[in-house]
Structure 1
Amino acid sequence: MLLPGRDILIAQLGDAFALLNCQEQRLYEVDSLAAWTWQHVSNCAAGIGWNQLSAQFSSECKLARPDAEALLDRYVGLGILRACQGSASIFAVALNGSRWMIECPDVLSAELKQLFRGIAIPMEPGCRHEHLVIRLNADRYELTAAGKSIGVLGRAEIIPAIKAFLTEALLQTDFTLALHAALLRLGDRQLLIAGAPGAGKTTLALALSAENGGSLLGDDIVIVDEKGALRGIPFPAAVKRGSWTLLQTFQPGVTSCPTYVRSDGKEVRFIPGDIDSDHIAPARSTTMIFLRQNVARRQSLSKMSPLLAFQRLLTEAAAPTRRLTDQAFAALSKAVNISGVYEMEVGPLGQAVEIIRDL
Structure 2
Amino acid sequence: MRRSRSNLPFTMNIVVPSRFQPSFGSLRPAAGTSFALINQIPVLFSDDEQKLFELNDVAAFIWCSMQNAVPLETISDQLVNRGLSSTGARESLRDALNQWLGAGLIVPHIDTLDFAFCTVVGQRLVQIRASDARVLDHLRSIFIATTAPKADAETIFAVHRAGSTSIVIHEGRKVLSCGTNELAPTFKAYITEQLLLTGDTRNVVFHAAAVVSGDRALLISAPPGTGKSTLTMHLLNADFGYAADDIVIIGPDGAIQGAPFAPTLKSASWSLVSGFRPDVYSVTIHNRLDGQAVRYLNVEADVYKGPIRVNWIVFLERTSGGTPPTLRALSELDTIRRIVGASFATHGKLTTESFHTLKKVASEARSFVLRYAEAEGATNKLIELCNGKL
Q: Same fold (TM over 0.5)?
A: yes
For 1:217 and 1:278, locate their aligned partners in 2 and report how far apart those are by CA, in whole Å.
Answer: 6
Note if contact 2:200-2:346 (Cα within 8 Å) is conserved in structure 1: yes
Note if contact 2:204-2:346 (Cα within 8 Å) is conserved in structure 1: yes
The letter of the residue matching 1:137 is: A
The letter of the residue matching 2:222 is: G
Instruction: Give the CA deviation at 1:323.
Output: 1.7
After superposition, the C-alpha distances for 1:248-278 in whole angstroms (9 at most, x for unaligned) are: 2242221222211101111111123538988
The aligned residue for residue 319 of structure 2 is 294
For 2:345 and 2:304, locate their aligned partners in 1 and report how far apart those are by CA, in whole Å.
Answer: 20
* Count of residue correspondences: 276
Map 1:141-290 → 2, pairs under 5 A = 141-169=166-194, 170-175=196-201, 176-212=203-239, 214-274=240-300, 279-280=305-306, 282=308, 286-290=311-315
Instruction: Give the CA deviation at 1:151.
Output: 3.2
SS in 1 for 2:347: coil
Instruction: Give the CA deviation at 1:196.
Output: 1.5
Residues 1:95 and 1:344: Cα distance change in structure 2 (over 3 Å):
same
For 1:314 and 1:294, locate their aligned partners in 2 and report how far apart those are by CA, in whole Å.
Answer: 24
The letter of the residue matching 1:209 is: L
After superposition, the C-alpha distances for 1:145-199 in whole angstroms (9 at most, x for unaligned) are: 2322233322321111121112112112225111011011123331100022222
Instruction: Give the CA deviation at 1:236.
Output: 1.8
For 1:162 and 1:275, locate their aligned partners in 2 and report how far apart those are by CA, in whole Å.
Answer: 24
- Greater C-alpha Rg: 2
Instruction: Give the CA deviation at 1:339.
Output: 0.8
1:321 aligns with 2:331: no
For 1:231 and 1:297, locate their aligned partners in 2 and report how far apart those are by CA, in whole Å.
Answer: 35
1:116 aligns with 2:143: yes
Instruction: Report the identity percentage.
Output: 25
Note if contact 2:320-2:373 (Cα within 8 Å) is conserved in structure 1: no
Note if contact 1:223-1:231 (Cα within 8 Å) is conserved in structure 2: yes
Residues 1:282 and 1:320: Cα distance change in structure 2 (over 3 Å):
closer
Structure 2 stretches lacking a partner, 5+ long:
1-24, 27-107, 386-390
Instruction: Give the CA deviation at 1:282.
Output: 4.6
Q: CA RMSD in A?
A: 2.7
The aligned residue for residue 365 of structure 2 is 339
Instruction: Give the CA deviation at 1:293.
Output: 3.4
The aligned residue for residue 358 of structure 1 is 384
After superposition, the C-alpha distances for 1:210-265 in whole angstroms (9 at most, x for unaligned) are: 222x2221111111111111111131221111111111224222122221110111
For 2:350 and 2:281, locate their aligned partners in 1 and report how far apart those are by CA, in whole Å.
Answer: 41
- Higher relative contact order by CA 8 Å / sep ≥ 6: 1 or 2? 1
Instruction: Give the CA deviation at 1:92.
Output: 1.6
Note if contact 1:232-1:276 (Cα within 8 Å) is conserved in structure 2: no
Structure 1 stretches lacking a partner, 5+ long:
3-81
For 2:327 and 2:191, locate their aligned partners in 1 and report how far apart those are by CA, in whole Å.
Answer: 35
SS in 2 for 1:345: strand
